[in-house]
Amino acid sequence: MNIQTAVLPPHAEMVRAMLASDTAYEGVFFTAVKTTGIFCRPTCTARKPKPENVEFFAHADECLSAGYRACLRCKPLDAAAIAPDWVQRLLKAVDADPELRWSDAQLLAEGIEPLKLRRWFKQHFGMTFLAWLRTRRLGVALGGIKQGTSIDHAAFDSGYESLSGFRDAFQKSFHITPGRAAASEPLLFTRLTTPLGPMIAMAERRGLVLLEFLDRPALTREVEELQNRYGYVVAPGQNAHLQQIDNELALYFAGKLSEFSVPLHLPGSEFARQVWAELRQIPYGQTSTYGTIAARLGKPGASRAVGLANGHNRLSIVVPCHRVIGADGSLTGYGGGQPRKAFLLRLENAAVQLTQQLAF
C-alpha cells in the first residue's frame, strides 16, 4: 500500500507548476501526456505539452497502470533528482583517489562532457565540479589543521606547491585564514535525494545543523549566517550525523519513521531555540498554530515572533515547522514551498491512519 495519499493540488495549480517547471512540486504530482503516452516530473526540461493534452497523477505507479511509459529525459521512476550514473561513477573515483587532479581531457576520457558536469554541479551544489573538488581538498586540509597538522604540511598534502597559494585558496573558500581555522568549527555538507527533490544537509561534531531543500530561497542567507555569525567553516564531506539523517529520511518518506533520533545542534537566540523545541513537541500526524505555541511559551501575544522564529528554522522536516498551520486551518508559509508542506502533512496523516487500521 502506498501511504502517500492520492490527494492532488487543484488542476489549475498543477498546470501552472508544470508550465513553470516549479521545483516546489517535485514528487507532488506527475504529468502524463496523452498524445505521446509518456509521463514526466513537473520539472522535466522537455518541451511543454498543451495543458489539454495532459492528465495528472499522484504516483508514478498510477501512470504506469494507466498505460504511460516513463520519460527518458527526466526519469520519473528514479528517486527525485538522484545523481545520474555518470556522476555517481565520478564521485566514487574521487573518493578512491582524492588527490587526482581532474582535467577536461581526463573527464572526456571517462565519457563525461565537462560543460554538462559543470551545469549539474552548479545546479545541485551551487559550485562547479572543479570548485567542489578544490573545496573538498581544502576541507581535508582543514581537518588536518584541526588535529594539529602544520599549515605547511596541510598545504603540500593538499597538492599546493606554494604556501601562499594554499593560504589564498583557503581564505577564498572558507573566508578565514588557515591559522584562525584551527579554532573554528568545521561544518560538513552533503547533498541528499528525497521524493520531494534534492536537499542539503550540514553537520558538525555535535549534530545536524541544517537540512534544507536546495531551491529554498533563504538557503544562501542561512549558510552565510552560519559562517559569519557562528564562525563555521563550511566544506564538503561526510560524518556519522550526515549518514544517519540520510538513512532516517529514507525511512520517514517510506512512512516507517515518525521521530528522528539524529543528534541536533541549533545555533540561535534563546527565544528561537524555545520555539524550535516546541515544534519538536508537535506529535507526528498532528498540527499546531503560532498562537498555541506562543501560549505554551507563556507569551500569548507573541504569535508574530513565533512565526518569525518558525521561518528561521534551518532543519526542515526534522524540526517539523511544516506542522504549524494558520488559526483558520490554512497552510500558511513554508520555506520549502506550500506544495511540499501539503505533501508532508498528507504523508504523516496517511501513515497514522494506516497504523490505526493495523491496530484493529
Q: Say if residues 347 and 257 touch (Cβ distance below 8 Å).
A: no
Q: Give residues with Cβ within 8 angstroms of 43, minimum separation 6.
A: 21, 22, 23, 25, 26, 74
Q: What letter does residue 42 receive in the DSSP assignment?
A: T
Beta-carbon count within 10 A of 154 CB: 24
Burial of 115 (0-12, 13-18, 19+ CB in 10 A): exposed
**How far is the C-alpha of 118 from the C-alpha of 121, rounded, in Å?**
5
Order of strands, edge to edge, in the sheet holding 54-57?
54-57, 30-33, 38-40, 69-70
Q: Say if residues 351 and 257 touch (Cβ distance below 8 Å).
A: no
Q: How far is CA 104 from the centre of its chain?
A: 29
Which residue is catalytic, options 40, 44, 71, 321?
321
Q: Say if residues 9 and 340 touch (Cβ distance below 8 Å).
A: no
Where are the strands (E) in the chain, listed by range?
A: 30-33, 38-40, 54-57, 69-70, 185-192, 199-204, 207-213, 232-236, 288-289, 324-325
74 as an active site residue: the answer is no
Beta-carbon count within 10 A of 4 CB: 18
Active-site positions read: 321
